[in-house]
Amino acid sequence: MPTMKDVATLAGVSTATVSRALAVGGSGVSLDTRERVLDAVKELDYHPNHLPRNLRRRSSRIFGLVISDIGNPFFTAIARGCEDTAHMHGYRLVLANTDEDAEREASALEVMAAERAGGVMLASTDQATDPIRRLLAVGIPLVALDRRIHGLHVDTVTVDNEAASYDAICHLIALGHARIAMVGGPDTVSTVRERADGYLRALRSHRLDLGDELLRRGDLRESGGYRITVELLSLPAPPTAIFSANNLTTVGVLKALRERGVRVPSDLSLIGFDDLSTGELLDPPLTAVVQPAYQLGARAAELLLRRVENPEAPVQEIVLSAKLTVRGSTGPPPGPEE
């Protein structure tokens, strides 16, 4: 493992000169020396060690993306957006997965803080406040991605969950549904709260008061969707439509429906928040609120880049909109005499 010193010795210059010659642009060094340095680099097969550089500079050109579920295509699309944008500006992206677990999130953020990431994008469970403050204390820029962070005024990119959910429920109501259930998620997650808000507002504005029975909380995983659907179906008056607040949850809902022989949409209508990768392949194809996931990631990376360049820039909050894509899983409710 040759070091810069070895290169310097071979090229007959000082390490300072090597450092300058190897810097982007390579200015402040004569063409001649620069060439000698480059030759030495090649001959020794020297490759820089970023650790001391980051130590000295107190930051690195690596962005961290902390997401809550790497198995969720929504987040992987986000990751792509982040990565492409970061890459274009000379930053690399590393990912950390938290599995919707506050402890794992804390651990991931601690790593980013301890390793002095150049910046972090976070889809937060909103329960790991200490590590977030630490990150900020260490001077690492943070962007809230997809989910707001309670009580923290930082750059943010989100989707207008409330409006999209409102639209989705209105679509169901327009079809004639009156008993509409929602399979939600943990209340700590801002997106889930907003989706529930949209659901409730749509019901209220149409004077449909359903009580709490039909608004349920899952875990944003398949298992939660499955469990809740089974519960909903065994209600004395089961819903005629289900609004599923997350794509993985939707898979669980579908499995439960299929298992119980409930036909979609003739027996029950279904709308998913966020699409499935195989959404179009399902029979019937899934009616879903489609989110601009890639854009979400790309914009977050842009905000982070901006913040790195100018730590004093005013805080920016970007809200993108999601739109309802009506496919085959929604239809009128079953007739009373069927």
Partner DNA sequence: TTGAAAGCGCTAACAG
Partner DNA sequence: CTGTTAGCGCTTTCAA
Is the Cβ of residue 2 or residue 186 nearer to DNA in the bound state?
A: 2
Phi and psi, residue 289, nearest 5°: -85, 115
Examine residue 26 and tell whether it contacts DNA (CB under 7 A): no
Is 222:185 a contact under the CB 8 Å cutoff?
Answer: no
Residue with tokens 């029979």: 283
Considering only the C-alpha atoms of the chain, give the largest distance between any 2 of them, rounded to a whole number of Å: 94
Is the Cβ of residue 61 or residue 201 nearer to its own copies in the bound state?
A: 61
Examine residue 4 and tell whether it contacts DNA (CB under 7 A): yes
The window from 15-23, 101-109, 253-261, 275-283 that contacts DNA (CB under 7 A) reads 15-23
- Which is it for strands 317-320 and 92-97: parallel, antiparallel or unpaired? unpaired
Cis peptide before 284 (omega within 30 of 0): yes
- How far apart are the C-alpha atoms of 88 and 181, rounded to whole Å? 44
Binding-site partner at residue 150 among its own copies, DNA, none, CB < 5 to 8 Å by type: none
CB 232, min distance to its own copies, A: 18
Examine residue 15 and tell whether it contacts DNA (CB under 7 A): yes
Which of 39, 42, 49, 88 is close enough to bind DNA by CB under 7 A?
49
Alpha carbon distances (Å) from 62 to 15, 82, 205, 276: 25, 12, 47, 30
- Would you tell me which residues interact with its own copies (CB under 8 A)? 1, 45, 47-52, 54-55, 60, 62, 64, 70-71, 73, 76-77, 79-80, 83, 87, 92-97, 99, 107-108, 110-111, 113-116, 134, 137-139, 251, 254-255, 258, 276-278, 280-283
Examine residue 5 and tell whether it contacts DNA (CB under 7 A): yes
CB 22, min distance to its own copies, A: 12
Is the Cβ of residue 311 or residue 314 nearer to DNA in the bound state?
A: 311
Q: Could you tell me the strand order of the sheet in which 215-217 lies?
A: 215-217, 180-184, 241-244, 269-273, 287-290, 323-325
Task: Tell which positions 168-227 bind DNA, by CB under 7 A.
Answer: none
- How far apart are the C-alpha atoms of 228 and 217, rounded to whole Å? 8
**Site residues (vs DNA, CB under 7 A):** 1, 3-5, 12-20, 22-23, 27-30, 32-34, 46, 48-49, 51-53, 55-58
